Amino acid sequence: MRQLGEEKRTVTTSQEDFLPIEGTDHLEFYVGNAKQAAHFYRSALGFRLVAYRGPETGTRECVSYVLEQNKIRFVLTTPLYPTGDIAEHIARHGDGVKSIALTVENTERAWEETTRRGAIGLQAPGLLTDEHGSARCSSIKIYGDTIHTFVERSSYRGVFLPGFIRVAGPDRVARDAGLLHVDHIVGNVGWNQMNTWVEFYQHVMGFRMFKHFDDRDISTEYSALMSKVMTNGNEKIRFPINEPAEGRRKSQIEEYLDFYGGPGVQHIAMATHDIIDTVSKLQNQGIEFLRVPTTYYEDLAGRVGKIDEPIDELARLGILVDRDDEGYMLQIFTKPVEDRPTLFYEIIQRKGSRSFGKGNFRALFEAIEREQANRGNL
């Protein structure tokens, strides 16, 4: 019997994995004004505008902007009419992640395997074509109104997917911040729903549990949460799933559920090779980060051992450090990037560690609670 939080070391081979996933293909956000949101992601977070879809390309009901930074791809979609699924999603949730898209070897097989195991199918496998080739997509329902889209693009040579056109010329707004790839995507679910979705990822998608944190690991004087991290066979995909736990006051998960109107993506962790440089650029470009008390850094070397980065620089920027048996990691969290206190981002640099900063949980949770108190929601 494995102990709580113990990591299973075996990595499933592609021959054993009934749902081989090559990586995160893209994240699609439903937003109230995609043009303005795209400007924020370009000027503040450093993404480049690379593709577009809208009335000019034959799409009549919505507009989408495709943004990229290294291996990270965001799609911002807004409705052109006040009714319909996209408009209703925004009215209910505000701006948020609709689709977590995964690159797969075979979209039809991904659809068949997951729906056969109990997934609710939303879009059957379909072929998209244009002069640059073809791609296949399908989708299934996950927590709340969020979906997984399976994308098979090995036969496509266009900028994104058929139906989109390339945006020509250099992006004069984007200022690259050194963000490299999606490290993990965190979902918040309701009371006593975490294990339901853990079982979904285990049975329907062939994932396994990577880490488990309970309310003893993630708690303060006032509030707590529970979290289980699911990963796929090759460990390229990691999905922490959070649920509230009993506390004296409202937790960050409860606040999220109240303002988002149900389960959804809470935050996206993006990796960098140089967190000091990345965070410095993002702060200069207007991104606001959570801060912990300066006392956090007083015995940092004693807690985490020798690190390569200057502690005074980490303290100046508010970057946190944690160590496990395999190395250490550095992380920092933005404040919510929407007016509703829902979606935020994590910037992470891994130097051997494959964990999620357990040693920082209390400091981070208290920082979030200070923000909740300022909003009157604690």
Output the pLDDT for position 366.
67
Beta strands in 80-120 (DSSP E): 96-104
Please tell me the distance from the alpha carbon of residue 298 to that of residue 375, in angstroms, as a whole number.
Answer: 29
Listed as own residue / partner, the contacts of 367-374 with beta carbons closer than 8 Å and 24 or more positions apart are 367/290, 367/291, 367/292, 367/333, 368/252, 368/290, 369/220, 369/222, 369/223, 369/252, 371/290, 371/335, 371/341, 372/250, 372/252, 372/255, 372/341
Residue 169's pLDDT band (cuts 50, 70, 90)? confident
8 Å CB contact between 268 and 334: no
Q: Mean pLDDT throughout 236-257?
A: 84
- Does the structure show a pLDDT above 80 at 114? yes
Output the pLDDT for position 57.
94
With CA atoms as reference, report the closest residue to 149 among 98, 93, 203, 109: 98
Output the pLDDT for position 348.
97
- Does the structure show a pLDDT above 70 at 365? no
Q: Mean pLDDT throughout 209-232?
A: 69
Residue 361's pLDDT band (cuts 50, 70, 90)? low
pLDDT in tens, 30-80: 999 999 999 999 999 999 999 999 999 999 999 999 999 999 999 999 999
- For residues 111 and 366, the model is more confident at 111
Output the pLDDT for position 362.
64
pLDDT in tens, 275-306: 999 999 999 999 999 988 888 888 888 888 99
Beta strand 182-188 with 238-245 is parallel
With CA atoms as reference, report the closest residue to 331 among 348, 314, 308: 348
8 Å CB contact between 284 and 255: no
- Does the structure show a pLDDT above 90 at 187? yes
Output the pLDDT for position 354.
86
Question: Out of 3.40.50.720, 3.10.180.10, 3.90.1010.10, 3.40.640.10, which CATH number does the structure's domain 21-166 have?
Answer: 3.10.180.10
Please tell me the distance from the alpha carbon of residue 98 to that of residue 204, in angstroms, as a whole number.
Answer: 20
Q: Mean pLDDT throughout 355-366?
A: 65
With CA atoms as reference, report the closest residue to 217 among 3, 378, 2, 5: 5
Residue 364's pLDDT band (cuts 50, 70, 90)? low
Measured in whole angstroms, the distance separating CA 139 from the mean position of its chain's CA atoms is 18
With CA atoms as reference, report the closest residue to 99 among 135, 55, 150, 59: 150
Question: Could you tell me which CATH number the domain at 182-375 has?
Answer: 3.10.180.10
pLDDT in tens, 119-166: 999 999 999 999 999 999 999 999 999 999 999 999 999 999 999 999
Output the pLDDT for position 134.
97
Q: Is the pTM of this model over 0.85?
A: yes
Please tell me the distance from the alpha carbon of residue 331 to that of residue 271, in angstroms, as a whole number.
Answer: 9
Whole-Å CA distances, 346 to 45, 161, 174, 202, 332: 12, 28, 20, 25, 6
Q: Mean pLDDT throughout 86-109?
A: 98
Output the pLDDT for position 256.
93
Give yes or no on whether 21-166 and 182-375 have one common fold: yes
- Does the structure show a pLDDT above 50 at 1? no
DSSP state of 294: G
- Does the structure show a pLDDT above 50 at 2? no
DSSP 3-state assignment of 76? strand
Output the pLDDT for position 226.
80
Please tell me the distance from the alpha carbon of residue 268 to that of residue 67, in angstroms, as a whole number.
Answer: 15
**Mean pLDDT score across all residues of the chain:** 89
pLDDT in tens, 307-330: 999 999 999 999 999 988 899 999
Output the pLDDT for position 213.
64
Whole-Å CA distances, 313 to 26, 169, 296, 310: 33, 36, 13, 5
Q: Residues of the chain with pLDDT > 90: what percent? A: 75
Q: Mean pLDDT throughout 13-28?
A: 85
